[in-house]
Every structure is written in structure tokens, then in C-alpha cells.
């Protein structure tokens, strides 16, 4: 699977495992290999690829992903890049699989997006004198402790990494895990540099079905949060019409369940994946991968999933990028820094009742929504530039101005 979006479709789990075990040996060489484990990381890989190609338009690229959703997104996101990058699944972290792809693609630099520490790959890269950069790098305290406890496995590979950390806290954790301090820079979070998503192709349908009602986007909703999200049209109805709900469950396995629960609650549901004729509806179910960032453009307010259970939150920057006020729950350990930096753009709720009240307040107060939009814009303005810093570091490594020495 290489070179074009037509070859980068979702292969399904069994086919994906087979292609990861024995990576396709395409003919294309690649100076830079970029790996993004799943959908969010593939989006960042695309941001980085655009920036690399802006400086070197002919730069040969290999882009990989590990999950069915990530692999399926590769072709859609990278469609139109010229020359086309080589696209395929990430190999299993086994010596024969890693060696086969390294031999086939002959990269001169490997870029891992966010947090991926693969001992076999890193060891093979070190033996070949191949620099490895972790871009927009983040590391939880728990993961850093695991790496310290497994120094025999991670110690050597970590010493040859170059880290473009997302924050000073992440930089400190990578240093504590064993990456030499002189190989760590705080470059920032590339999510702040992502291109503004286009308006989705289903925008007209959502607006027609909403029929002037405000739109609440419930994004990245976990299974345990479905009841809260589905209750929003009823609980936010007030004296006027109930708002229209654009519901985006986090995992594909819950799409059918979400549709069933919404229908059982008396709501009229239409699904993105199953076009229907015009007619009234209460819920638009976004049961596709890779369209949520664009869908946020259709909302008036957003409820962020992953924050009302024990998951620590999902991507809060996607709704903020399009100026959407966001309500989050108490579980924000994975996004705390962004939430705190966002100020008035994010309302924090202690539970579902408080979330409903916060959403109702925002829907009733256009000035509060304007303040939130201004705060979101200021947040992005303050934090732009991580991609440019990461690109400079990548080219330094690629051109031999920094990087590891060959190790036997």
C-alpha cells in the first residue's frame, strides 16, 4: 500500500495485522518516515508533512499509522500531495518487520508523533545511525515511571532520541525517563498550527435539519457518556425549541448503540453514513472517522467527551480552533494544561447537571459565546509556531547537523 490514497484504505484488523507483520516492500524510498499511531496523530503528521514540503517540495516521505482508523485516514488526508508520499501501516515492533521496512524505504530520519517508544525500532535506528525525533512529544508521569522501571529495555534507545517536547513538564518527564537533556527542546504543541478544517460536506444537511435551532456538538463521547449527551435536547429545551444535537461517539463500536439509545429516548436520528431524504430530525449521528474537527464548525457550543468518566479528556483544541465555547467535565488530567490556558473559552463542570447548566447559560448569552470565541483565538495566537520549530530541528537532523552516532 503505497503512493496514493487509493492504496491507503482501511484494511480491517486481520489484514492490518498481516501488513504490519510483513510490511509491503514498495519501490519508493523516503528521506523522512513519519509515524502517527491513530487519527489524532495522523492529523499532526499531515500538519508536519505540509510544513516539511513547504520548504522542500520534492522531499520523499513515508507516512504510517498503527490502527485501522489511522490507516484509513492516511489516504484521505494525504490525497493531493505531489509528489505523493508512500503510505502504509506501521510495522509490528519485531526485528524482521522493522528491518523489512527500514531496508525497503531507507529513511534518513524517523519522526514519531507525540508518544511512541518502540524499543525494537529505536534499537534498529540506533545501530544504523538513523536519527529519531519525537515531535509534539508528550509523556505522562505514569509512562515516565514505567520507562524508568524498565531501563534495561528502554535505556539505550532513549539515549539516542531527540525530543521536541510539547511543554516544559513533558520535557522534564522525558529527561527523568532517560533522554539526555541536551537532546530535548521545548518546541510546543503542533495542534496549534493545524490548518483550519474546511466546512464539512454535510454542512447543508445539518443546517437544514436544525432549521434554525442552535446546534450542540457532543464530541468524542465515550460509551459511559452517551446518556448525558442524548439527554441534552430534552434538558436544554427551555421555553423554546430544543437544540439540535450533533453527536460524535468516540469509538465506532458504539455508533449503533448511540443510534439505538437516541431513538429509544424519542429522538429522531439521522446518520452521516446512511443518507436519507429531507425531513425533521433531532440528532445527527457522526458515525465516520476523521470528520469531527470539521463538524465543530457547525456548532454553537460543544460538550467534550472523555471528561465525565475516568479518561482524562480528549482533544479540546479542535472545537477551540473554530471558536466554539467548550464545556468539560471533571476528568481533564490529559488536557489540563490546555483547559487552564484557554480561560473563558472553556467552562468546567463538576458533573452532568453542572454541564447542562453551563451549556444552557452559553446558549442563552451571545456575549458569553463571543467572549469564549475571543479567548480561544487568543490562545491559538499565543501558542503558534511549534511546527516551524519542529521542522527546523528535523532538517538539522536530516542534514547531519545534529543526531546520534552509529552504535554497534
What Å distances lie between residue 51 and 45, 76, 362, 368, CA to CA?
A: 10, 18, 36, 35
**Cα–Cα distance measured from residue 173 to residue 163, given in angstroms and rounded to the nearest whole number:** 11
Instruction: Enumerate the active-site residues.
Output: 41
What Å distances lie between residue 218 and 162, 208, 263, 325, 336, CA to CA?
A: 37, 19, 17, 12, 19
For strands 132-137 and 161-165, give the pairing: parallel
**Cα–Cα distance measured from residue 65 to residue 77, given in angstroms and rounded to the nearest whole number:** 12
**Cα–Cα distance measured from residue 346 to residue 63, given in angstroms and rounded to the nearest whole number:** 34
Nine-digit cell at 7? 492504496
Sign of the four-CA dihedral 53, 55, 56, 57? positive
Sheet holding 283-285, edge to edge: 269-271, 283-285, 244-249, 215-221, 301-304, 326-328, 346-348
Enumerate the β-bridge partners of residue 246.
217, 284
Amino acid at each position: 500500500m503505497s503512493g496514493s490514497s487509493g492504496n491507503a484504505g482501511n484494511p480491517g484488523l486481520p489484514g492490518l495485522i498481516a501488513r504490519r507483520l510483513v510490511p509491503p516492500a514498495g519501490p519508493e524510498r523516503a528521506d523522512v518516515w513519519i509515524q502517527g499511531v491513530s487519527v489524532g496523530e495522523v492529523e499532526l503528521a499531515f500538519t508536519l508533512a505540509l510544513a516539511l514540503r513547504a520548504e522542500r517540495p520534492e522531499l520523499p516521505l513515508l507516512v504510517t499509522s498503527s490502527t485501522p482508523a489511522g490507516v484509513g485516514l492516511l489516504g484521505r488526508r494525504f490525497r493531493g500531495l505531489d509528489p505523493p508520499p508512500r503510505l502504509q501501516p506501521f510495522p509490528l515492533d519485531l526485528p524482521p518487520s522493522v528491518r523489512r521496512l527500514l531496508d525497503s524505504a531507507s529513511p534518513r530520519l524517523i519522526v514519531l508523533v507525540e508518544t511512541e517508544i518502540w524499543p525494537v525500532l529505536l534499537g534498529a535506528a540506533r545501530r544504523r545511525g538513523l536519527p529519531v525525533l519525537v515531535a509534539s512529544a508528550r509523556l505522562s508521569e505514569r509512562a515516565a515511571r514505567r520507562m524508568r522501571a524498565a531501563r534495561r529495555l528502554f535505556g539505550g534507545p532513549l539515549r539516542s532520541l531527540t525530543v521536541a517536547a510539547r511543554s516544559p513538564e513533558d520535557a522534564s518527564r522525558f529527561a527523568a525517563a532517560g533522554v539526555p537533556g541536551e537532546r530535548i527542546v521545548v518546541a510546543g504543541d503542533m495542534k496549534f498550527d493545524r490548518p483550519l478544517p474546511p466546512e464539512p460536506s454535510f454542512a447543508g444537511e445539518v443546517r437544514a435539519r436544525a432549521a434554525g435551532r442552535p446546534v450542540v456538538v457532543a464530541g468524542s463521547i465515550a460509551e459511559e457518556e452517551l446518556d448525558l449527551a442524548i439527554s441534552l435536547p430534552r434538558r436544554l429545551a427551555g421555553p423554546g425549541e430544543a437544540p439540535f444535537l450533533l453527536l460524535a461517539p468516540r469509538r465506532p463500536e458504539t455508533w449503533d448503540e448511540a443510534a439505538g439509545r437516541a431513538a429509544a429516548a424519542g429522538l429522531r436520528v439521522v446518520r452521516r453514513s446512511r443518507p436519507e431524504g429531507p425531513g425533521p430530525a433531532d440528532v445527527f449521528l457522526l458515525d465516520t472517522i476523521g470528520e469531527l474537527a470539521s463538524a465543530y464548525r457547525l456548532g454553537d457550543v460543544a460538550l467534550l467527551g472523555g471528561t465525565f468518566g475516568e479518561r482524562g479528556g480528549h482533544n479540546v483544541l479542535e472545537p477551540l480552533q473554530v471558536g466554539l465555547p467548550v464545556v468539560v467535565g471533571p476528568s481533564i488530567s490529559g488536557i489540563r494544561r490546555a483547559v487552564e490556558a484557554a480561560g473563558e473559552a472553556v467552562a468546567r463542570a463538576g458533573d452532568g447537571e453542572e454541564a447542562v447548566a453551563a451549556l444552557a447559560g452559553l446558549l442563552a448569552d451571545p456575549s458569553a459565546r463571543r467572549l469564549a470565541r475571543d479567548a480561544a483565538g487568543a490562545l491559538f495566537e499565543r501558542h503558534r509556531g511549534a511546527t516551524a520549530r519542529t521542522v527546523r530541528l528535523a532538517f538539522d537532523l536530516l542534514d547531519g547537523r545534529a543526531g546520534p552516532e552509529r552504535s554497534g
